[in-house]
Amino acid sequence: MISQSFDNGDIIFEQGVYQNTMYEVVSGTVGIYADFGTPSECRLATLGAGESFGEMGLVECYPRSATAVALELGTTVEEIDADEFSAYYANQPQKVLSIMRQMSARLRETNEKYVEACRTVYEAVEAERVERRRAKSLGSRLSDMLKSLRRSKARV
């Protein structure tokens, strides 16, 4: 394993870059960001000592889905490549289980956020639909009133 230290704000890896390694935080904190450095930047997670990240790149062999950034001076991480990860299965099964639990917790949190986002969108669409009905109803009543006024004016 390769141990690396980073200063606050240093990028550990970038979204969109292919890497087949993962990391474990030894000390300090790491922020995981979508669209880092853009107006739509969003911090997805803050990780501390003992937590791992980047496992999706290792397991799936896809480009990084987020950017990892050191959030403290002297943040230290250990880089774990595919061979080292495979060795965990034989030598440290508890380590693999810990990584799986972390991944499961993140997936569960993502699912909860997704459901909440869907609920918020649904409620906004429903509120807009109700408002349109109310506005249409109000418009119809105003139109009827204008027609009634025109008729009564025509009679005079």
* Sequential DSSP letters for 22-69: EEEEEES-EEEEESTTSTT-EEEEEE-TT-EE-HHHHHH--B-SSEEE
Write down the pTM of the prediction: 0.70
Whole-angstrom distance, CA of residue 100 vs CA of residue 89: 12
Query: What pLDDT sits at residue 155?
Result: 67
Per the prediction, the chain carries an average pLDDT of 88
Q: Are 76 and 28 in contact (CB under 8 A)?
A: yes
Q: What is the CATH number of domain 2-91?
A: 2.60.120.10
> Is a pLDDT exceeding 90 seen at residue 136?
no
Query: What pLDDT sits at residue 75?
Result: 98
> Is a pLDDT exceeding 90 seen at residue 140?
no
Task: Name the phi and psi angles at 61, rounded to 5.
Answer: 60, 40
Q: Which residue ranges make up each domain of the chain?
A: 2-91, 93-144
Query: What pLDDT sits at residue 156?
Result: 61
